C-alpha cells in the first residue's frame, strides 16, 4: 500500500528537451513496488512534471521552477518504511537483528530496506548528538540576527561554521535574516560571541532569548 510520500533531491544537469515529453525516464521505486517516472514537458520545455506511477496509476505529481538546477523525485513509503524510520530516528545505532525483531522482518530484508532508504536519499546520514551541557555549555539561547545592508553572507556563514558555540542556524524570511541556536558556558561567553558576530561577521543587530527548558523527549 502506498502512503505518505517523502521528497528526495536528484541532480539534473540540464533542462529537458520538449520533444521528450511523455518519455519514461527510469524506475524510481526503491521498494520493488513497480513505480516509474514519466517526463512531461510543459510550455517551453523548462517547466517539468515528474509523475510517479504505481502500475498504471499516477500517485504523485510535482512541478519544478524553470530555473531549478535540481529535480525532486518523490519516493513513496509504506507503513514498514515509516516504522523503520521511526526506530532509526530514536536509535540510529540499532542492530539489524534488533530492528528486524521490532518490525517483524528478517535481518536480511530489514537491511535491504534500510539500504534502499539510504540510496534514495530518504535517510541522509547518521550522526552522534553531543550534549552541550556535558561540555559545560549549559546556557542555551536563541539569537535572531539581522545583517548589515550589503553584508557578505559568505563571511557570516563562515563565522557560524567556525563558532563552536553556534549549534544550529536557519535562514529566515521576515525582519531577521537568521535564527541561531547558541550554547555557552555563561553570560560572559555569550557576550563574547555576540560582540564577535558584530565585529567580524557583518551583523547589524541581534535579539537574544534564553531557553528555560525543553520538553522531555
Q: Please give the domain boundaries of the chain with CATH numbers for all domains.
A: 5-76 (no CATH), 79-120 (1.10.10.10), 132-210 (3.30.70.920)
**What pLDDT is stored for residue 215 in this prediction?**
85
Instruction: Quick: pLDDT tens for 40-58.
Output: 333 333 333 333 333 433 3
Q: Give the model's pLDDT for residue 73.
A: 58
pLDDT of residue 74: 64
All residue ranges of the chain with pLDDT < 50 are: 1-71
Query: What pLDDT is attached to residue 128?
Result: 86
Task: Quote the pLDDT of residue 8.
Answer: 34
Whole-model pTM over 0.75: no
pLDDT of residue 217: 62
- Three-state SS string over the chain comes to CCCCEEEEEEECCCCCCHHHCCEEEECCCCCCCCEEEEEEEECCCCEEEEEEEECCEEEEEEEECCCCCEEEEEEECCHHHHHHHHHHHHCCCCCHHHHHHHHCCCHHHHHHHHHHHHHHCCCCCCCCCCCHHHHCCCEEEEEEEEECCCCCHHHHHHHHHHCCCEEEEEECCCCCCEEEEEEECCHHHHHHHHHHHHHHCCEEEEEEEECCCCCCC
Amino acid at each position: 500500500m502506498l502512503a505518505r510520500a517523502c521528497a528526495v533531491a536528484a541532480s539534473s544537469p540540464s533542462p529537458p528537451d520538449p520533444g521528450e515529453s511523455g518519455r519514461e525516464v527510469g524506475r524510481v521505486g526503491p521498494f520493488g513496488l513497480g513505480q516509474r517516472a514519466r517526463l512531461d514537458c510543459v510550455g517551453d520545455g523548462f517547466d517539468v512534471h515528474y509523475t510517479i506511477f504505481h502500475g498504471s496509476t499516477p500517485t504523485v505529481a510535482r512541478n519544478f521552477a524553470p530555473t531549478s538546477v535540481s529535480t525532486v523525485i518523490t519516493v513513496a513509503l509504506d507503513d514498514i518504511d515509516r516504522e523503520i524510520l521511526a526506530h532509526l530516528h530514536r536509535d540510529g545505532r540499532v542492530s539489524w537483528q534488533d530492528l528486524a525483531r521490532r518490525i517483524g522482518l528478517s535481518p536480511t530484508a530489514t537491511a535491504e530496506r534500510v539500504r534502499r532508504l539510504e540510496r534514495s536519499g530518504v535517510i541522509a546520514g547518521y550522526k552522534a548528538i553531543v550534549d552541550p551541557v556535558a561540555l559545560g555549555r549549559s546556557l542555551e539561547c536563541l539569537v535572531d540576527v539581522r545583517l548589515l545592508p550589503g553584508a557578505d553572507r559568505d563571511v557570516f556563514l563562515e563565522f557560524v561554521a567556525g563558532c563552536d558555540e553556534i549549534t544550529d542556524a536557519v535562514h529566515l524570511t521576515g525582519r531577521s535574516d537568521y535564527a541561531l541556536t547558541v550554547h555557552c558556558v555563561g553570560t560572559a561567553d555569550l557576550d563574547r560571541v555576540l560582540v564577535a558576530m558584530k565585529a567580524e561577521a557583518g551583523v547589524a543587530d541581534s535579539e537574544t532569548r534564553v531557553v528555560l527548558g525543553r520538553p522531555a523527549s
